[in-house]
Amino acid sequence: MSPREWLAVLMFGAFILGILTGFPVAWVLGGSALVFTAIALLLERDFGVETGIDWAYTSLVGDRIFDLMDNWVLVALPMFVLMGLLLDRSGIAAELLREVSRLFGRVRGGLAVSIALIGVLLAASTGIIGASVVMLALLGLPPMKRAGYAATYATGTVCAIGTLGILIPPSIMLVLMADRLAISVGDLYLGAILPGLLLAALYIAYLLALPALRPTIAPASSRPEIVDLELILAVFRKVVPTALLIFAVLGSSFFGIATPTEASGVGAAGALLLAASRRRLTVPILREVLRETTLTTGYLFGIFVGATAFALVLRGLGGDELIARGLSGLPFGPNGVVLSILFATFLLGFVLDWIEITFIVLPLVAPVVVSLGFDLVWFTVLFAVCLQTSFLTPPVGFALFYAKGVAPDVDVRTLYVGILPFVALQLVALTLIFLWPELATELPARAYGR
Amino acid sequence: MSRPGPPMAAEPGPSPAPVERTLDRLVSAASWIWLLLVGVIVAGVGLRTFFAISRIELEELQWHLYAVGFLVGILGCVLHDRHVRVDVFREGMSQRRRDWVDLYGLLLLQLPFIALVLWSGIPLVAESFASGERSGSAGGLSHRWLLKSALPIVFALLLLASLARTRAIARRLFAPPVADAAAASDADEASATPTADPAPGEPPDAAG
C-alpha cells in the first residue's frame, strides 16, 4: 500500500472513532474530509509524499452539494417523510392499527401482525433505523403490553418491523441507493418486492406460529369481537381510503406510470386529503408536521452533505483503487468476493447507519461486483437485506439500542432473546436471495420485457 | 446506534440566544415550502396526465424548492440539536464531558467544514451569476445563480448558529459560577446525573 492509501485507511478509522465520541455524524464526516486534506497537504509539502489531493480538489465539495441540490430523484425523500408524518401525527396510523387488530381479535399474535402490516408503511416517515424503531415502539408496545404479550415477543416484533420498513417501499433507502448507483429507482423497487414480501411472510409466519405453539406468549383478545360480515365491512370502510392511497403511490412508481418523485408528491397530497377528510388537519398539526418534515429532512441531508465531502476526499486518496485491488486479490471466486463484501457490510452495519454506507461503501464495491458479472439490482437488494440483518444482530444492532432507549423497563436479555429468531429469518432470506437471484431480478426483467 | 434526537422537537438549549430564536422562526416559516412543493408536483402530474402537457419549468421548480428546504433543515437541526449522533458512549457521559466533546467537535470539525463549503461555494455562485448560467434543458429555468446562492446564504446562517452554539457551550464550561448561575446549575444537577462541580478556574483539561 502506498502512503496515500494508508492515509485513506486512517481516514476511515478516524471517522469511526470520531462518531463514537457522540458528535453529530454529519459534521464528523465533513470535518474529517477537511482535516485529512490538511494532513495530506502537510505530508506532501514537508515530507514529499505524493498524496494526489490539494485544496482545489477538496473545494469540489461545493459542486458536489450543487449536484445534491439539483437532484430530481431525491425530491421524493422529503415527500415520503411528509406523507408518513401526516399519517402518524393525524392519528390515522393509530386508528388503522386499532381497526386492523379488531379483525385479528381471536388470533393469538394478531396484534403483532397488525403492527407488522402498518409499521412497514410508517417507516418511511423517519428514514433511519433508529427513528423508525422508536416510532413503532411508541405506537406498538403499549397495546401489546395491555394485551398481555410477552416482552421478548413484543420488543422483537417492534425492532424487526422497524428495520424491515426501511427496506420495503416506499423506501427512502432504496431511492438513495438507486440514485448513488445510477440505476432506475423503479427497477430497484421491483427488485426489492419479492425479497421484501418474502421477509414479511417469514416474519408473519413466525409471529403466528410461535403463539400457536406457546399460547402464553401472545394471548388472544379476552373479549374478541365476532368477526362477521358487518365487522369486516366496518373495518374496511375505515381502512380502504388509506390502503388505496398507499397502493396508488407504490403502484404508480412500480409500474412506471409515475416517477418516484411524482408518486411521493401525490402520496403526500393524498395524505393531506385523508387527514383533512377526518378533520384532523388543523393548522397547529399541519405546522408541526411541516416543521418536523424540515428537521427530519435536515438530519438526513446533513449526513448526505457530510458523506459527499468524505467520499470525495477518500476517493482522492485512492480509496476506490484500494478497495478494488483488495477485493480482486481475494483468493476466492466471484461468489466468495460477494460474500466477503456482505460480511464486511454486516460488520460495518454495527457502527454506521445505512446512509453513510450507501454514500461511502456502496459506490466503492459496486463497480467490482459489476465487473465480476453480477446483476447490480440483485446485489443492491442483497446488500440492503444484509445491512438490515446487521441492524438487528445482538449485541450491537442499532434497532436494539433504540428499543432499549424507549422501553427502559425491558432488560437487555429479553431484547436479545426476542430478536434472535428474526435474525435467523433474515439469514434464511439472505441465503435464498443469494442462491436464487431470480427473486430480485425476475420482476424488473419482466416489467421491461428484457 | 445513531439517533436523531427525541422524536418530538427538542428545544434549543436552556436559553436560546436572540439570534437562535430569529433563525428558528426562519426555519418554521420556510417549512411551508413542502406544502408548496406538494402543490407543484401535483400540478405537474395533473397537467401531464389530463392535458398531456409536460412543463420542464415545473419539474425544475420542484428541485429548486426541495434544495432550499433541505438546506434550511440542516440549519434547523443545528438549532435544535437534532443532527444524528451515535450515542452509545455519549449516554454514559456527564453533561460536562458532553460539552467538551461538542466544543472540540465544533471547533475542529463543524465550523471548519462550514467554512470550507462557504469558501468553495461563493466563487461558484459568482461564476454562475457572471456567466448568466441557466438550465441546460430547453425551456428550463434561468437565473441558476439564485438557486446556487441558497447554499452560501444558508451556510452563512449555519455558521452563525454554530457560533452561537459554541458560545453557549463555552459559557457553560468556563463561566465562573456566580450566585444565580450556580443556583441554576445546582437545580439542574439535583435532577440530572451528578457531575463534578466545576470549580472556579478549573483547568480546561480536567474533564476533557
Each residue's pLDDT tens digit, A350-403: 878 788 888 888 988 998 899 988 999 999 999 999 998 988 887 777 788 777
What pLDDT is attached to residue A429?
93
User: Average pLDDT of A193-204?
Assistant: 90
Query: Is residue A292 less than 8 Å (CB to CB) from chain B?
Result: yes
Write the pLDDT tens digit of every residue in B46-80. Answer: 888 788 888 888 888 998 999 999 999 999 999 99
- At A240 the pLDDT is 81
Q: Is the CB of A31 less than 8 angstroms away from the CB of B105?
A: yes
Overall average pLDDT of the A153-166 stretch: 88
Cα–Cα distance measured from residue B201 to residue A140, given in angstroms and rounded to the nearest whole number: 50
> What's A332-366 look like in SS3?
CCHHHHHHHHHHHHHHHCCCCCHHHHHHHHHHHHH
Residue A77's pLDDT is what? Answer: 85
Rounded to the nearest integer, the mean pLDDT of chain A is 85
Residue in the block written with cell 420482476:
A443
CB A430 within 8 A of CB A382: yes
Across the interface, whether the CB atoms of A401 and B1 are under 8 A apart is answered yes
Res B138 pLDDT > 90 = no
B85 CB neighbour count, 10 Å cutoff: 27
The predicted pLDDT at position B12 comes to 43
**Integer Cα distance of A43 and A53 in angstroms:** 11
Nearest Cα neighbor of A97 from A146, A131, A163 is: A146
Q: Is the ipTM of this complex over 0.85?
A: no
- For the segment A308-330, what is each residue's pLDDT rounded down to a tens digit? 899 899 888 888 888 878 887 88
Q: How far apart are CA A219 and CA A117, in angstroms?
A: 19
Q: What is the pLDDT of residue B141?
A: 79
Taking the CA atoms of residue B13, residue B19, residue B24 and residue B30 in that order, the dihedral angle to the nearest 10 degrees is: -160
Q: How confident is the model at residue B202 (pLDDT cuts 50, 70, 90)?
A: very low
The answer to whether B62 contacts chain A (CB < 8 Å) is yes
Looking at the complex, report in whole angstroms how far the Cα of residue B3 sits from the nearest Cα belonging to chain A.
Answer: 6
Around Cβ B94, how many Cβ atoms within 10 Å? 15
Q: What percent of chain A has pLDDT over 70?
A: 94
Does the distance separating the beta carbons of B74 and A26 come in below 8 Å?
yes
Q: Can you give the pLDDT at residue A125?
A: 60
Q: How confident is the model at residue B177 (pLDDT cuts 50, 70, 90)?
A: low
Residue B199 has pLDDT above 50, yes or no: no
Nearest CA in chain A to B2: A130
Q: Whole-number mean pLDDT of chain B? A: 79
Chain B contact set for A248 (CB, 8 A)? none
Is a pLDDT exceeding 70 seen at residue A448? no
Chain B residues with CB inside 8 Å of A135's CB? 7
Which of A53, A69, A308, A390 has the most B C-beta neighbours within 10 Å, making it the best mutation to test the interface with B?
Answer: A69
Q: For position A124, what pLDDT does the model report?
A: 61
Q: What percent of chain A has pLDDT over 90?
A: 22
CB contact under 8 A, A62 and B121: yes
Q: Residue B151: list chain A partners with CB under 8 A.
A: 62, 65-66, 69
Any A CB within 8 A of B41 CB: yes
Residue A305 binned pLDDT confidence (cut-offs 50, 70, 90):
very high
Which residues on chain A are in Cβ contact (under 8 Å) with B37? 75, 78-79, 265
Q: Which of B27, B41, B63, B114 to mutate to test the interface with A (most CBs of A within 10 A)?
A: B41
Closest residue of chain A to B80, computed from CA coordinates? A295
- Calculate the alpha carbon distances from A53 to A13, A307, A405 in Å: 19, 17, 42
CB contact (8 A) between residue A18 and residue B109: yes
Q: What is the DSSP string of A154-223?
A: HHHHHHHHHHHHHHSSS-HHHHHHHHHHT--HHHHHHHHHHHHHHHHHHHHHHHHHHHHHSGGGSPPPSS
> Which of A270, A198, A260, A199 is CA-nearest to residue A240?
A270
Residue B85, strand partner residues: B3
Query: Percent of chain B at pLDDT above 70?
Result: 77
pLDDT at A214: 85
B137 touching chain A per CB within 8 A: no
Give the chain B residue whose CA is nearest to the CA of A400: B1
Cell of A430: 439472505
Is A59 close to B120, i.e. CB distance below 8 A? yes
Q: Which residue has the higher pLDDT, B73 or A332?
A: B73
The arithmetic mean of pLDDT across residues A158-177, rounded, is 85
Contact between chains at A26 and B83 (C-beta distance less than 8 A):
yes
Do the Cβ atoms of B3 and A24 come within 8 Å? no
> pLDDT at residue A169 above 60?
yes
B85 DSSP assignment: E
Whole-number Å distance between alpha carbons of B72 and B54 = 29
Q: How many CB pairs under 8 A join A and B?
A: 240
Name the residue among B44, B93, B113 with its Cβ closest to that of A34. Answer: B113
Q: What is the pLDDT of residues B91-128, one digit of tens each?
A: 888 889 999 999 999 999 999 999 999 999 998 888 88
pLDDT at A433: 93
**Which own/partner pairs from B185-190 qualify as long-range (CB within 8 Å, at least 24 positions apart)?**
B188/B95
Contact partners, residue B109, CB within 8 Å, separation at least 6: A18, A23, A27, A28, A30, A31, A32, A34, A35
Cβ distance B74 to A301 less than 8 Å, yes or no, reads yes
Contacts with A65 from chain B: Cβ below 8 Å: 117, 121, 151
Can you tell me the distance from the alpha carbon of A434 to that of A232, in angstroms, rounded to the nearest whole number?
40
User: How many angstroms separate the CA atoms of A432 and A382, rounded?
Assistant: 10
Give percent above pLDDT 90 in chain B.
Answer: 40
Confidence of residue A277 (pLDDT cuts 50, 70, 90): confident
Q: Average the pLDDT over A76-101 and give the result.
A: 84
pTM for this predicted structure: 0.83
Nearest beta carbon to residue A27 from set B34, B109, B147: B109
Least confident among A96-100, A417-421, B26-30, B150-154: A96-100
Q: In the prediction, which pLDDT does B7 show? A: 38
Q: Which residue among B109, B112, B117 sits closest to A28, beta carbon to beta carbon? A: B109
Q: Which of residues 72-101 of A touch B (CB under 8 A)?
A: 72, 74-75, 78-79, 82
**Of A48-52, A349-353, A440-444, where does the model show the most confidence?**
A440-444
Q: What is the chain B residue with the closest CA to A32?
A: B109
Beta bridge partners of B86: B2
Average pLDDT over residues A57-69: 88
